[in-house]
């Protein structure tokens, strides 16, 4: 439990520094509960217990699913800076990032699938890790495409253009002169 919470806090802090905001990391972190639900459903369905391998898989899953939210939010923020309103920005970002999200998620799922199936010598002990990652990534990939844009519309501020940034920097410069 400590490692799980530490992973979430660490990702949140890194995202806060990256986005220079606390709103955007919250939007990205909404992908984590969806991944946990997917992992737990798949583990329950296949009769896998919560053990050290499944816990490592869930911690790994947190980083993997955050990537999807980062792709959408970062691209939407770039569109907002270019002058789009937030609805158009998130719509464009979701459509533009659909293919990269699906490609990376499917390649990760297919790469971990042999681990989940349990092929090879001594692989039975690592099946829990594979099932947790494959299940969580499968469910969260599809839910992320709907939930992240919805939360972005709810939480994110309206447009911020380059002219706003220039006027802000000009104001800071004028305060420094005084």
Share of the chain above pLDDT 90, in %: 32
Q: How far, in Å, CA of 103 to CA of 97, rounded?
A: 10
Identify the CA nearest to 96 among candidates 122, 78, 121, 83: 78
Identify the CA nearest to 11 among candidates 24, 92, 49, 1: 24
Confidence (pTM) = 0.77
pLDDT at 20: 85
Q: How far, in Å, CA of 52 to CA of 104, rounded?
A: 26
The third-level CATH classification (topology) of the domain covering 25-177 is Multidrug efflux transporter AcrB transmembrane fold (1.20.1640)
Q: How far, in Å, CA of 67 to CA of 107, rounded?
A: 14
pLDDT at 170: 57
**pLDDT, tens only, 46-69:** 999 898 999 899 988 988 888 888
Return the domain boundaries, the chain: 25-177
- Which stretches of the chain drop beneath a pLDDT of 70? 159-178
pLDDT at 169: 59
b vs e for 92-125, b when ≥16 Cβ sit within 10 Å of the residue's Cβ?
A: bbbeebeeebeebbeebbeebeebbeeeeeeeee
């Amino acid at each position: 439990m400590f490692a799980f919470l530490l992973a979430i806090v660490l990702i949140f802090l890194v995202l806060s520094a990256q986005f220079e905001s606390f709103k955007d990391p919250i939007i990205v972190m909404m992908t984590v509960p969806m991944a946990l639900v997917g992992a737990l459903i798949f583990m329950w369905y296949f009769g896998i217990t919560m053990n050290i391998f499944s816990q490592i898989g869930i911690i790994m899953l947190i980083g993997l699913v955050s990537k999807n939210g980062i792709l959408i939010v970062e691209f939407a923020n770039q569109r907002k800076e270019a002058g789009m309103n937030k609805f158009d920005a998130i719509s464009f970002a979701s459509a533009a990032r659909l293919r990269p999200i699906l490609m990376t998620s499917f390649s990760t799922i297919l790469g971990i699938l042999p681990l989940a199936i349990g092929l090879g010598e001594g692989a039975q002990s690592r099946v829990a890790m594979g099932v947790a990652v494959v299940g969580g990534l499968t469910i969260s990939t599809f839910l992320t495409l709907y939930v992240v844009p919805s939360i972005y519309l709810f939480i994110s501020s309206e447009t911020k253009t380059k002219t706003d940034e220039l006027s802000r920097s000009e104001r800071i410069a004028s305060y420094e002169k005084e």
